[in-house]
């Protein structure tokens, strides 16, 4: 498959998802939902990045469960393991190997400037481990191993992507063309989903207020309840306008799941109150997520199938990435045994 990708010059996409338990409506509408349609146009690699996850302390049993669940959820959201390469990061040892080499091409200063490192070390002052510091190097290895052209990432990962690009450029300029320089990629239909309780903030699974965030696997009743208590304004007009952050957010969500434009939505709710609108958004989201949850439940009952998929994914990922790693080793002066 990797050969085919190269000979037809399909562009390569790589993205990683942390196995941290809850997938939110934000992750879904802003990212994963849009990955399915990319599979025909691009050659896609998707990885559950459990090696990144251990930069903060994890309970081993939970990490194991969450990794498998995240993998199943990826498939449930429409990633077809026959079309794309879907794998678990720790199963493919080239990631750790390239990461070491690249760490020798990253400066202490540039890693110190990473916003996520600064934020996370402020949050966990008791455990500022070296992995937290070199996290972006491992991420660069993920991307560069597959010669990815495009990397779908949120705004919070842009700085890391920039670092990957800089490292690739630096390496290429010393050793000749080795790595493809990756660009960020924002799917056309990606929606930015804000918190239901404070619509000026991004929807986040780590929000202290559980009503702020919809998890993909939330029960229908829970989803409706959370939408009913979403923060809006006192105007009682469904319209997309500056200053109406809450309503704008609900309209974006409704638009992303129904495909309706903002004007059409405004028309639909003329003369109706926010109560009706909120329930309509909630129900549309429930309808959208129902098949995902059903596929997820089915996959989780079929562990053998999941195992076949992640093993095959790892084998394909390894075959492709080993070629990049071999090239790198040769260039820097390591020889094969």
Binding residues for ligand TRP, per CB under 6 A? 14-16, 18, 49, 52, 139, 142-143, 151, 153, 157
Question: Which residues touch 234 (CB under 8 Å, ≥6 apart)?
Answer: none
Nearer to ligand TRP, 52 or 226 (CB): 52
What is the end-to-end Cα distance of the chain in Å, rounded?
28
Residue 285, both tokens? 């989201």
To the query of whether residue 120 is one of the catalytic residues in this protein, the response is yes
Please indicate whether residue 118 is annotated as part of the active site: no
3-state secondary structure of 41: helix
Q: Point out the catalytic residue in the list 11, 192, 205, 327.
A: 205
- Whose CA is closest to 245, among 202, 182, 188? 202
Cβ 246 to ligand TRP, closest distance in Å? 26
Strand partners, 95: none
If the CB atoms of residues 148 and 280 are measured against ligand TRP, the closer one turns out to be 148
Set 11, 93, 120, 211: catalytic member: 120
- 312: phi then psi, degrees, rounded to nearest 5: -65, -40
Q: Of 49 and 132, which CB lies nearer to ligand TRP in the complex structure?
A: 49
Give the shortest CB-15-to-ligand TRP separation in angstroms.
Answer: 5
Q: How far is the CB of 104 from ligand TRP (least distance, A)?
A: 19
Residue with smallest beta-carbon separation from ligand TRP: 16
The tokens for 265 are 């939505």
Q: Please, which residue, 15 or 24, has the CB nearer to ligand TRP? A: 15
Q: Is 303 assigned a catalytic role?
A: no
* Least Cβ distance, residue 218 to ligand TRP (angstroms): 21
Tokens describing residue 258: 């129904």
DSSP letter for each residue of 243-263: T-HHHHHHHHHHHHHH---HH
Structure-token pair, residue 149: 């052209």
3-state secondary structure of 15: strand
Question: What is the phi/psi pair of residue 47, to 5°?
Answer: -125, 140
Nearer to ligand TRP, 136 or 246 (CB): 136
Catalytic residue among 202, 226, 244, 316: 202
The distance of closest approach from Cβ of residue 115 to ligand TRP in the complex, given in angstroms and rounded to an integer, is 12
- Euclidean distance between CA atoms 93 and 318, whole angstroms: 8
Nearer of residues 157 and 249 to ligand TRP, judged by Cβ: 157
Gap between the Cα atoms of 291 and 76, Å rounded: 8
At its nearest, how many Å lie between ligand TRP and the CB of residue 150? 10
Percent helix / strand / coil, the chain, rounded to 5:
60, 5, 35
Q: Just list the catalytic residues.
A: 120, 202, 205
């Amino acid at each position: 498959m990797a050969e085919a990708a190269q000979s037809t010059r399909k562009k390569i996409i790589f993205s990683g998802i942390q196995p941290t338990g809850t997938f939110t409506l934000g992750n879904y509408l802003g990212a994963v939902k849009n990955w399915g349609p990319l599979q025909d146009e691009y050659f896609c690699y998707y990885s559950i990045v459990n090696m990144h996850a251990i930069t903060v302390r994890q309970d081993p049993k939970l990490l194991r469960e969450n990794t498998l669940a995240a993998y199943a959820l990826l498939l449930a959201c429409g990633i077809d393991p026959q079309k794309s390469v879907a794998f678990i990061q720790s199963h493919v040892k080239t990631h750790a190997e390239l990461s070491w080499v690249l760490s020798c091409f990253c400066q202490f200063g540039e890693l110190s400037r990473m916003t996520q490192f600064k934020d996370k070390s402020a949050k966990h002052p008791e455990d500022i481990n070296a992995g937290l510091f070199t996290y972006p190097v491992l991420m660069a290895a993920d991307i560069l191993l597959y010669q990815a052209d495009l990397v779908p990432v949120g705004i919070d990962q842009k700085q890391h992507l920039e670092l990957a690009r800089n490292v690739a450029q630096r390496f290429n300029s010393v050793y000749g063309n080795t790595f493809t320089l990756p660009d960020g990629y924002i799917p056309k239909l990606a929606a930015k989903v804000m918190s239901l309780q404070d619509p000026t903030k991004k929807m986040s699974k780590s929000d202290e207020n559980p009503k702020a965030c919809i998890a993909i696997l939330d029960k229908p009743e829970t989803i409706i309840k959370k939408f009913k208590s979403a923060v809006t304004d006192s105007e009682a007009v469904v319209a997309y306008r500056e200053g109406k952050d809450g309503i704008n957010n609900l309209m974006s969500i409704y638009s992303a799941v129904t495909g309706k434009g903002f004007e059409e939505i405004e028309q639909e709710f003329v003369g109706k109150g926010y109560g009706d609108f909120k329930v309509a958004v909630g129900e549309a989201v429930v309808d959208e997520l129902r098949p995902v949850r059903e596929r997820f439940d089915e996959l989780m009952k079929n562990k053998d199938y999941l195992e076949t998929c992640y093993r095959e994914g790892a084998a394909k990922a390894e075959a492709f990435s080993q070629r990049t790693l071999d090239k790198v080793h040769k260039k820097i002066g390591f020889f094969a045994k």
